[in-house]
Amino acid sequence: MPTLKIDGLDVTVDAGTSVLEAARFLGLEIPTLCHEDGLEAYGGCRLCVVEVGQGDKSRLVSSCTYPAEDGLAVRTNTKRVARTRKMLIELLVSLVPSSKVLQDLAAKFGAQKSRFKPKHEDCILCGLCVRMCKEQMMSGAIEFVGRGQKRRITTPFDKKSELCRTCGGCMYICPVCTLRCQGPNAPTTVCGSCLTLEPTCIDHYDDYMCYLGPTGVCGTCVSEKKHKGGESGGDKELCHTANTTQQQRR
């Protein structure tokens, strides 16, 4: 049973557990898109990226496919991780701007615009539908074909598959099948209308500094700390005060 450290917390898990599962066991939030409990890990969207290792030897890996190893040091919310996730969300939104799931991710992680030209595709190749059809519906009526830019999901020879039972499982799990609130012909690539509660402390520290409550509830402890002279050791109290204030305003 390997023991690893995630965001400074030691955790012992069963052999074969992924870093994502270990982090969720601790209650740490890591965003996912192509991952679904009950389906084989794919690691296609890379939104679950975390930083493993220390110093110059640290690297980014997808937590859903990376195994929990004994002595492994993992950080789930560093500047490097946050910057990478935001870029990935911008890229995904530019592929399918009509997806409400992707627009909600953009709002949550503060992606107010996309640096990529919108393509208005109808698939992000997350593979959820393929794995749902094969692993849960025991059918395998659809599959990936082609490589590179020609890669797509279809039935054998692009004809109606005799294995398909029209169960709708592929549409149910698809993250781009639900239209954004503004409809399919929205004026902008990124909606940006929903409130984001991501913390502002990532602009000042290398890791999130929210100790109490779920990560990203407020982030106002940074500005509160500045007003109070930046005394050390006050982060917990200030963050708790900011969380309580924001909940009262709601």
Radius of gyration of the chain, Cα coordinates, nearest whole angstrom: 20
CA–CA distance, 46 with 84 (Å, rounded to integer): 9
Q: Are 225 and 208 within one domain? A: yes
Co-location of 55 and 116 in the same domain: no
Q: Identify whether residues 99 and 186 lie together within a single domain.
A: yes
CATH number at residue 142: 3.30.70.20
Q: How confident is the model at residue 193 (pLDDT cuts 50, 70, 90)?
A: confident
Strand 9-12 to strand 3-6: parallel, antiparallel, or no bridges (unpaired)?
antiparallel
pLDDT value at 220 more than 60: no
pLDDT above 70 for 200: no
Q: Domain holding 72: CATH number?
A: 3.10.20.740
In this prediction, residues 228-240 reach a mean pLDDT of 45
Query: Do both 98 and 153 map to the same domain?
Result: no
- Looking up tokens 């991710």 gives 105
Q: Is the pLDDT of residue 138 over 80?
A: yes
Stretch 192-205: mean pLDDT, rounded?
Answer: 67
pLDDT of residue 62: 96
Task: Output the 3-class SS for 190-249.
Answer: CCCCCCCCCCCHHHCCCECCCCCCCCCCCCCHHHHHHHCCCCCCCHHHHHHHHHHHHHHH
Closest CA to 8 of 76, 105, 62: 76
Verify that 85 and 71 share a domain, yes or no: no
**Domain co-membership, 169 together with 182:** no
Centre a 10 Å sphere on the Cβ of residue 100 and count the other Cβ atoms it contains: 16
Q: Calculate ∠ Cα 97-101-104, nearest 5°.
A: 90
For residues 182 and 92, state if they share a domain: yes
Model pLDDT for residues 30-71, shown as the tens digit of each residue: 999 999 999 999 999 999 999 999 888 899 999 999 999 999
Could you give the number of structural domains in the chain?
A: 4
Nearest alpha-carbon partner for 109 in 41, 32, 51: 32
pLDDT at 106 over 70: yes
**Residue that finishes a domain, picked among 77, 112, 141:** 77
Domain co-membership, 23 together with 5: yes
Is residue 5 located within the same domain as residue 34?
A: yes
94 with 187, same domain: the answer is: yes
Using CA atoms, how far residue 147 sits from 24, 47, 120, 144, in Å, is 33, 22, 20, 9
For residue 109, the SS3 value is: coil
**Residue 173 — pLDDT band, cuts 50, 70, 90?**
very high
Report strand pairing: 59-62 vs 143-145: unpaired
User: Which domain, by its residues, includes 164?
Assistant: 128-173
- Total count of residues recorded for the chain: 250
pLDDT at position 19 over 50: yes
Same domain, 113 and 188: yes
8-state DSSP, 20: H
Question: What mean pLDDT, rounded, does the chain reach?
Answer: 83
Task: Give the pLDDT band of residue 144 (cuts 50, 70, 90).
Answer: very high
CA distance linking residue 106 with residue 194, whole number of Å: 9
pLDDT band at 93 (very low <50, low <70, confident <90, very high): very high
User: Do residues 111 and 186 share a domain?
Assistant: yes
Residue 21's φ and ψ, nearest 5 degrees, are -65, -40
